[in-house]
Homo-oligomer: A and B are copies of this chain.
Amino acid sequence: MSQLKGACIIGQSGGPTAVINASALGVIRTALDTDCITKVYGAAHGIKGVLDDKLYVMDEEDAAELELLKYTPSSALGSCRYKIADPDQDDTDYKRILEIFKKYDVRYFFYNGGNDSMDTCNKISKYMQKAGYECRIMGVPKTIDNDLNGTDHCPGFASAAKYIATSCAEVYQDARVYDTGMVTIIEIMGRHAGWLAGAAALAGVIGCAPDLVYLPEVNFDMDQFLTDVDAIYKKNGNCIAAVSEGIHYADGTFVSEAKTSATDGFGHAQLGGLAALLANVVKEKTGAKVRGIELSLLQRCGAHLASRTDIEESFQSGKTAVEAAVAGETDKMVGFACTREGGKYTCQTKLFDLSAVANFEKKVPMEWINAEGNGVTQAFIDYALPLIQGEPESPKDHSLPRFARLKKVLAR
């Protein structure tokens, strides 16, 4: 494959994570150090920045500030939830993207996001091929939801999992401190996949597991839930239940649906308020003192509790994306292939076809969920535990996190 010379764009999309910027740094740092990449642009707010001709010149950034991206949560370049049209229906956006690519001689495009971003990559790539514009397009995954197809796991999942496990362990200490009992409901993100809710069970490694964990892979039954909670509360005087925001009844209705009707830009129902709803139901049924805790945004932006493994792997996925693209690859997502034999964890980057990744949702396998549908098995723990290992060496300023401060010089 001949060497392709030109500029590159890196964009970020979808919900932030604690380590999405570590991936972006992997792209930016490697691209800056690669001779055939003539200029490195960061798109303001993902594909919107391309459409709006709003590109930051990453070459102008201070190297030390860029390095801090490893420890800076959320999308440093800005994110979006812009759903690009099907090019067969409406190619306006694609024509504009091609125009911008030509304007800045962009030959490499790296998109750092989740499911929808991989779909965006895939569509742009197909359009560019049809238009005969030589350009290499790579997906750099991130999603705390861990629901991307193919890869062993997704950058961002582990840090959120570690935040969740640590917070659940701390709440475990707190929520059983009184001589009077309490039922605590902890609401965890994850949309339609139970990876994050399952991560609450990692607290069991240090003896602080929630009593019950409800994943969206299992149809929720309110009566069974109340029976489960009541039995544990009666036995122990306390009960902690972790619930995924995505739990739903057998007919597909979200348990939380009564509470919110708003949708995000992709038409997904906006979830939340579930902990309060379930706490009320439990209170009515059992008369117990209850508390609903929603981990909310904290679980996805809690960089101070990031997994060092996650940071390093996220950086590596960005780095590999650039190296592979320069070597001639395109239309790929950089995921991971891992082994865990005999408790020894290894992880290598691996390229996946974008078309095989986009628009699939990887769920927790049913054999990793217990027979009662209210917990995960040891296989889940064995899968997730290696991912959360290691503490970040985050620089501090007055004992508070020192985040990257980018200049964001706009390209002219």
Give A39-65 as 1s and 0s: 1 = Cβ < 8 Å from B's Cβ atoms: 000001100100000000000000000
Chain B: CB-nearest residue to A387: B399
Bound Cα distance from A205 to B174, whole angstroms:
30
Could you tell me if B401 and A78 are in contact, using CB atoms closer than 8 angstroms?
no
A405 adjacent to chain B (CB < 8 Å)? yes
List which A69-125 residues lie within 8 A (CB) of chain B: 72-75, 78-81
Could you tell me if B81 and A206 are in contact, using CB atoms closer than 8 angstroms?
no
A344 adjacent to chain B (CB < 8 Å)? no
A366 adjacent to chain B (CB < 8 Å)? no
A153 adjacent to chain B (CB < 8 Å)? no
Could you tell me if B171 and A45 are in contact, using CB atoms closer than 8 angstroms?
no
Could you tell me if A72 and B403 are in contact, using CB atoms closer than 8 angstroms?
no
Q: How many copies of this chain does the complex contain? A: 2
Which residues of B have CB within 8 Å of A400? 162, 165-166, 169, 202-203, 205-206, 388
Distance in Å: Cβ of A31 to nearest Cβ of chain B:
22
Give A190-208 as 1s and 0s: 1 = Cβ < 8 Å from B's Cβ atoms: 0000000000001101111
Distance in Å: Cβ of A235 to nearest Cβ of chain B:
18
Q: Which of B16, B174, B388 contacts A297 (CB 8 A)?
A: B174
Most chain B beta-carbon neighbours within 10 Å: one of A166, A178, A184, A273: A178
A305 adjacent to chain B (CB < 8 Å)? yes
A337 adjacent to chain B (CB < 8 Å)? no
Bound Cα distance from A397 to B45, whole angstroms:
39
Bound Cα distance from A207 to B179, whole angstroms:
42
Which residues of B have CB within 8 Å of A389? 398-399
Could you tell me if A73 and B297 are in contact, using CB atoms closer than 8 angstroms?
no
A293 adjacent to chain B (CB < 8 Å)? yes
Chain B: CB-nearest residue to A389: B399
Could you tell me if A162 and B399 are in contact, using CB atoms closer than 8 angstroms?
yes
A139 adjacent to chain B (CB < 8 Å)? no
Distance in Å: Cβ of A380 to nearest Cβ of chain B:
15
Bound Cα distance from A305 to B304, whole angstroms:
8
Bound Cα distance from A369 to B91, whole angstroms:
55
Which residues of B have CB within 8 Å of A298? 167, 170-171, 293, 295, 298
A residues near B (Cβ < 8 Å) are 16, 44-45, 48, 72-75, 78-81, 162, 165-167, 169-171, 173-175, 177-180, 184, 202-203, 205-208, 273, 276, 291, 293-298, 300-305, 307, 385, 388-391, 396-403, 405
Pairs across A and B, CB under 8 Å, 21 listed: A16-B174, A74-B174, A81-B178, A165-B400, A167-B302, A169-B403, A174-B297, A202-B400, A206-B397, A206-B398, A206-B402, A207-B403, A208-B403, A291-B296, A291-B297, A293-B297, A294-B296, A295-B298, A388-B398, A390-B399, A391-B399
Given contacts A184-B297, A276-B276, A389-B399, 17 further A-B pairs with CB under 8 A are A16-B173, A16-B174, A73-B174, A81-B178, A166-B304, A169-B400, A169-B403, A170-B298, A170-B301, A170-B302, A171-B298, A174-B301, A206-B400, A291-B296, A294-B296, A307-B399, A390-B399
